[in-house]
Amino acid sequence: MHLYKYEKIWLIFGTGVLALFLLIVGIGAFAMGHEPPSDDETIDPQKVRETPPFDNPGLKQIGDQEYELVIVAQAFAFQPSDIEIPKGAKVHFIVTSPDVVHGLAVAQTNVNMMVTPGHINRITHTFKDAGEYLMVCNEYCGTGHQFMGTRIEVVE
Ligand code: CUA
């Protein structure tokens, strides 16, 4: 009778600890914004060129000082290659790849993402200072990888 009672207590305790653990992991992973840069939107990599917004890459104003920057990252260049952004603009990068995995990193900012074919990758950054920012591919993607880069001009 005594043994049974202790067994029951431990069973409840064990189950409780497990539930608590799963809860902590769950909160840690999903609820606190620790998700990877969003790539839950998918796209057919074969049809990137026909699929909006990637049929027309470039900078589009969507609000007061707010822009969408649609980029196609492919071996071995970013499209568009000439990017001019007004100083102070909040820019939503929307990026995909029609071929292999690329990276997209903008020097002097927190913009650093993996660009996976089949997914639409997003990141937002506000360009507070004018100047020239180097945008490079930082995932090895083939023989032309080191040439894959361009400049973003942030103008007054
Ligand atoms: Cu694209 Cu490295």
Q: What is the pLDDT of residues 14-42, one digit of tens each?
A: 888 888 888 887 776 666 554 455 557 89
pLDDT at site 21: 83
Give the distance (Å) from ligand 1 centre to CA of residue 22. Answer: 38
pLDDT value for 40: 77
Query: What's the pLDDT score for residue 10?
Result: 85
CA of 70 to the centre of ligand 1 (A): 17
> pLDDT, tens digit, for every residue of 56-69?
999 999 999 999 99
Does residue 46 surpass a pLDDT of 80?
yes
Architecture label for domain 41-155: Sandwich (2.60)
Residues with CB under 6 A from ligand 1: 76, 102, 137, 139-141, 145, 148
Domain boundaries, the chain: 1-35, 41-155
pLDDT at position 74 is: 96
Instruction: List the residue whose alpha carbon is closest to atom 1 of ligand 1.
Output: 102
Q: 130 C-alpha vs ligand 1 centroid, how far in Å?
A: 26
Task: Indicate the average pLDDT of the chain.
Answer: 90
Q: What average pLDDT does range 130-151 have in this prediction? A: 97
Q: What is the pLDDT of residues 81-128, one digit of tens each?
A: 989 999 999 999 999 999 999 999 999 999 999 999 999 999 999 999
Ligand 1: atom nearest CA of 144 is 2
State the Cα–Cα distance between residues 58 and 34, nearest whole angstrom: 29
- Classify residue 37 by its DSSP letter: S
pLDDT at residue 139 greater than cutoff 60 = yes
- pLDDT at position 24 is 80
**From CA 79, how far away is CA 91, in angstroms rounded?**
16
> ipTM of this predicted complex?
0.98
CA of 23 to the centre of ligand 1 (A): 38
Residue with more model confidence, 153 or 15: 153
Q: Which helix (DSSP H) or strand (DSSP E) does residue 21 occupy?
A: helix 2-26
Question: Going by C-beta distance under 8 Å and a sequence separation of 6 or more, which residues neighbour residue 44?
Answer: 51, 118
Q: How far is residue 103's CA from residue 89's CA, in Å, rounded to a whole number?
A: 23
Q: Which amino acid is at 58?
A: G
Residue 15 φ then ψ, to 5°: -65, -40
pTM above 0.90, yes or no: no
